[in-house]
Chain A
């Protein structure tokens, strides 16, 4: 089955801790994206990557980091510098300049 998987479904972060959200796709898409969703707001772009070993900051990159070592994988790390990390995080992928398809999301909560 082709698609995008995100894990875990729920993630709890303690004060001062870095946590990593996983995103994998088997659609052979070139581009991958991370979005943050807060209640009552649309999606905001955190980072995107159009090719392996290259990525660009989106609109709200502060406190986050990413890597793109494989075409299929685009993990997002929420660092301790992100002071308000509680949100729903969505990963997406696409062929360049085409429709974006979304994973099921990870909800991050702060303990």
Chain B
């Protein structure tokens, strides 16, 4: 069965420090992979996506993610975190079911940024 695991429920980093959020998935074929960000009381905003090709993808707000097939991972990174990055981050896998792309979401990682 398809699933997405985000092992870290909460992460705290200092402003200016680097960030890596982990995401592991279980899926039999090559998945579509996504990272979304959610501010409190808001909807989800797409940060970046991977469908195929270059395994290092660039997104908005200076984020990037790397697809590693051998590790079934799609970790999100940012070299220098800003206070405005404090939010909850969700990893998602799109699994093709007939002609429907069903999304499986991880349970999220809350990022806290220390000044």
The residues of A with any CB-CB pair to B shorter than 8 Å are 4, 6, 31, 40-43, 45, 48, 50, 56, 88, 90, 92, 94, 96-105, 107
Min CB distance B49 to A, Å, is: 6
Min CB distance B69 to A, Å, is: 21
A97 with B101: in contact, given A102-B44, A103-B43, A104-B43 (CB under 8 Å)? Answer: yes
Chain B interface extent, by class:
20 to 34
B70 is an interface residue with CB less than 8 A from chain A: no
Q: How far is the CA of A80 from the CA of B33 in the complex (A)?
A: 36
Q: Are A99 and B106 in contact (CB under 8 A)?
A: no
Q: How far is the CA of A82 from the CA of B81 in the complex (A)?
A: 41
> Which of B44, B49, B99, B104 is within 8 Å of A50, CB to CB?
B99
Known: A42-B105, A96-B100, A97-B100. 11 other contacts (CB 8 A): A40-B9, A42-B106, A48-B100, A50-B99, A90-B44, A97-B99, A100-B101, A100-B103, A101-B46, A102-B43, A107-B41
Interface string of B2-39 (1 = CB under 8 A from A): 00100001000000000000000000000000101000
B102 is an interface residue with CB less than 8 A from chain A: yes
The residues of B with any CB-CB pair to A shorter than 8 Å are 4, 9, 34, 36, 41-46, 49, 90, 94, 96, 99-108
> Which of B4, B9, B36, B96 is within 8 Å of A97, CB to CB?
B96
Min CB distance A3 to B, Å, is: 10
Q: Are A42 and B108 in contact (CB under 8 A)?
A: yes
Q: Are A42 and B90 in contact (CB under 8 A)?
A: yes
